Amino acid sequence: MHPAIPHLIELQRVDHQIAVFRSELESFPKRIREADTKLTGARGEVASAKEALAQVASERRKFEFEAQEWKDRVRKYRDQSSAVKTNDAYRALQHEIANAEAEIAKAEDRQLEVMMKAEDAERRLKLADSRLKEADQSLAAEKKTMEAQAAEIKKKLEAAAAEREKIIAPVPEDLRDLYTRIAKRRGGTAMAQVRDEQCRGCGLRVLPHIVQELRSETSEEVYRCESCGLILYTLEPVPYAKPADGSANAASPASTN
Ligand SMILES: [Zn+2]
């Protein structure tokens, strides 16, 4: 394995971190917009409660006006009835008065109904107002949390970028270019681990002699997967000393040092 490969593995690790931080940062404006839409509902509820209240008030004025009109008529009929000459005319006026009084009673009943509706509408508006206030406060808190999160991620991103500079420093120019080219084409990934003689980038079998080369500490070659083009590496430098039970802590009985 080329001596720069361990640096490239580290570079890949930090580049993946940077990509995650970047996409998290990019998600904040959308998250803030989404949080804002919670207010839209609460604002709409307040507006419709206000509208309902205005509607009720106008109904109330209408019935008040009607009752007043009928009352005026009753007064007029009473004035007239003191001046009428015939019983028939008097009876006709009494009939009109009774009719007008029935209309007054009806209009007053309606006013009562409307007043009850007004109380409901006022309650509804009060509730909508307090819900809007709550939503406003919780949104402000949510935004504050998000801003703090974004600041935290920005800090991590800066640290990762600084770390990247250090990691990439010893990597030769041509390998940097190769890494960058592949990463750009392959969605930010340039490296693929070889495990069980398979490229973990695409699953293609890697030829045994290449696996041997990757494990060799003296090899200066850079190998790329024939199928996906990623730079291959292995984390299994000594294939023969693997403990049979797979435990890393087990002492090797075959060791003769
Ligand atoms: Zn591959």
Q: How far apart are the CA of 166 and the centre of ligand 1, in A? A: 28
Q: How far apart are the CA of 196 and the centre of ligand 1, in A? A: 13
Q: How far apart are the CA of 212 and the centre of ligand 1, in A? A: 17
Cβ neighbours for 182, distance < 8 A, ≥ 6 positions apart:
189, 190, 224, 229, 230, 231
Cβ neighbours for 178, distance < 8 A, ≥ 6 positions apart:
190, 222, 231
pLDDT at 163: 97
Q: Which of 109, 102, 99, 101 is nearest to 63 (CA)?
A: 109
pLDDT at 68: 96
Query: What are the mean pLDDT values of the chain's consecutive 10-residue runs (257 residues total)?
Result: 91 97 95 89 94 95 95 94 90 94 95 94 96 94 95 98 97 96 96 95 94 88 95 72 43 40
pLDDT at 243: 43
Q: How far apart are the CA of 197 and the centre of ligand 1, in A? A: 11
pLDDT at 197: 93
Q: Which of 183, 203, 184, 185 is nearest to 193 (CA)?
A: 203
pLDDT at 27: 95
pLDDT at 231: 97
Q: Measured between alpha carbons, how far is 230 from 247 in angstroms, rounded to an integer?
A: 30
Q: How far apart are the CA of 15 and the centre of ligand 1, in A? A: 19
Q: Are strands 231-233 and 198-199 parallel, antiparallel or unpaired?
A: unpaired
pLDDT at 169: 96
Q: How far apart are the CA of 191 and the centre of ligand 1, in A? A: 9
pLDDT at 106: 95
For 205, list phi and psi in degrees, rounded to 5: -70, 135
Helix (H) or strand (E) holding 256: none
Q: How far apart are the CA of 138 and the centre of ligand 1, in A? A: 49
Q: How far apart are the CA of 224 and the centre of ligand 1, in A? A: 8
Domains of the chain, by residue range, sit at 21-168, 173-241
pLDDT at 241: 41
Q: Measured between alpha carbons, how far is 131 from 49 in angstroms, rounded to an integer?
A: 12
pLDDT at 35: 87
Q: How far apart are the CA of 184 and the centre of ligand 1, in A? A: 16
* CB of 13 closer than 8 Å to CB of 167: no
pLDDT at 38: 84
Q: Measured between alpha carbons, how far is 2 from 162 in angstroms, rounded to an integer?
A: 24
Q: Which two tokens stand for residue 77?
A: 């009929």
| Helices and strands in the chain: count of H runs, count of E runs | 4, 3
Q: How far apart are the CA of 214 and the centre of ligand 1, in A? A: 14
pLDDT at 227: 95
Question: Which class does domain 21-168 fall in?
Answer: mainly alpha
pLDDT at 247: 43
pLDDT at 82: 87
Q: Please name every residue paired with 199 in a beta bridge, in sequence order, or none if there are none.
A: 194
What is the identity of the amino acid at 182? I
pLDDT at 229: 95
Query: Tokens 């709550």 correspond to what residue?
Result: 134
